[in-house]
């Protein structure tokens, strides 16, 4: 099957992908796949069950049997593990680092592949991740790689955490971002990199609206739509 109404947006964390994907999914009224959430969920459950993050066999088994669902709640999406809403618990730095570790295991990625592909449903899909355009949906007609400097991404994360009332060090955030980037970009399986046919957008000095406009212009052009 050729996936026609499909936009893949890959890039490092903090590039603005998540927000851009949510806005696009709303504007186009398409489905949304937050593939990072799947790796975070797997890591979260593994930590809860005290499964070692280098135990490929148990992690793969867990990945194949995860009981996960996503439900729209009006303002965003609730993530349910075995029916329980885990919300912000997936957004901690500990879970992020663990997600990046489990995501480096080929068998785990294979175990999550069919689940990700199944998100493609009419009328269309916005797929957010690291390997959406390279591995999961290689025939997507619109592929974006959204990047930003590590310093800018650290500043954005710092602002977010400050808004939530956390006291954090920007130097610490920058070093965690660099550590995770290094692992995601240099792993032998499905490394974070633009697909050969992806359009690279550098969001370092762009607003979210400017990025959304650029993606929409490209989508309208490629898919013959007129969405504003």
195 touches ligand DC by CB under 6 A: no
Tokens at 37, concatenated: 């959430």
Angle between helices 17-28 and 208-223 (to 10 degrees): 50
**Site map 117..136 versus ligand DC, x via CB under 6 A:** ------------xxx-----
Give the span between the Cα atoms of 57 and 42, in whole angstroms. Answer: 13
103 touches ligand DC by CB under 6 A: yes
Of the pair 161, 220, the CB lying nearest ligand DC is at 161
**Site map 7..26 versus ligand DC, x via CB under 6 A:** ------x-------------
**Site map 171..190 versus ligand DC, x via CB under 6 A:** ---------x---x------
Of the pair 99, 198, the CB lying nearest ligand DC is at 99
Q: Provide the residue count of the chain.
A: 228
Task: Give alpha helix (H) positions in the chain.
Answer: 17-28, 35-48, 56-65, 93-102, 106-117, 150-163, 170-186, 208-223
Of the pair 28, 37, the CB lying nearest ligand DC is at 37
- Both ends of the chain: CA-CA distance in Å? 28
| Residue number closest to ligand DC, CB atom | 36
Contact yes or no for 79/87 (Cβ under 8 A): yes
96 touches ligand DC by CB under 6 A: yes
Binding residues for ligand DC, rule: CB under 6 A, are 13, 35-36, 39-40, 96, 99-100, 103, 129-131, 180, 184
């Amino acid at each position: 099957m050729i996936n026609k109404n499909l936009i893949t947006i890959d890039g490092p964390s903090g590039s603005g992908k998540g927000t851009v994907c949510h806005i696009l999914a709303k504007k186009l009224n398409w489905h949304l796949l937050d593939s990072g959430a799947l790796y975070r969920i797997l890591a979260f459950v593994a930590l809860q069950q005290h499964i070692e993050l280098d135990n490929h066999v148990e992690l793969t088994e867990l990945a194949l049997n995860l009981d996960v669902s996503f439900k729209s709640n009006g303002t965003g999406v609730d993530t349910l593990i075995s029916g329980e809403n885990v919300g912000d618990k997936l957004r901690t730095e500990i879970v992020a680092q663990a997600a990046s570790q489990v995501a480096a295991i080929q068998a785990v990625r294979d175990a999550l592949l069919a689940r990700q592909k199944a998100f493609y449903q009419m009328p269309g899909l916005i797929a957010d991740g690291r390997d959406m355009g390279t591995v999961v949906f290689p025939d997507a007609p619109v592929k974006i790689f959204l990047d930003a400097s590590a310093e800018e991404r650290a500043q954005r994360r710092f602002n977010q955490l400050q808004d939530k009332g956390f006291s954090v060090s920007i130097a610490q955030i920058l070093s965690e971002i660099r550590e995770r980037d290094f692992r995601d970009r240099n792993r032998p399986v499905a490394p974070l990199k633009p697909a050969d046919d992806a359009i690279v957008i550098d969001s370092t000095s762009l607003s979210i609206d400017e990025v959304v406009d650029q993606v929409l212009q490209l989508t309208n052009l490629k898919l013959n739509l007129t969405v504003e």
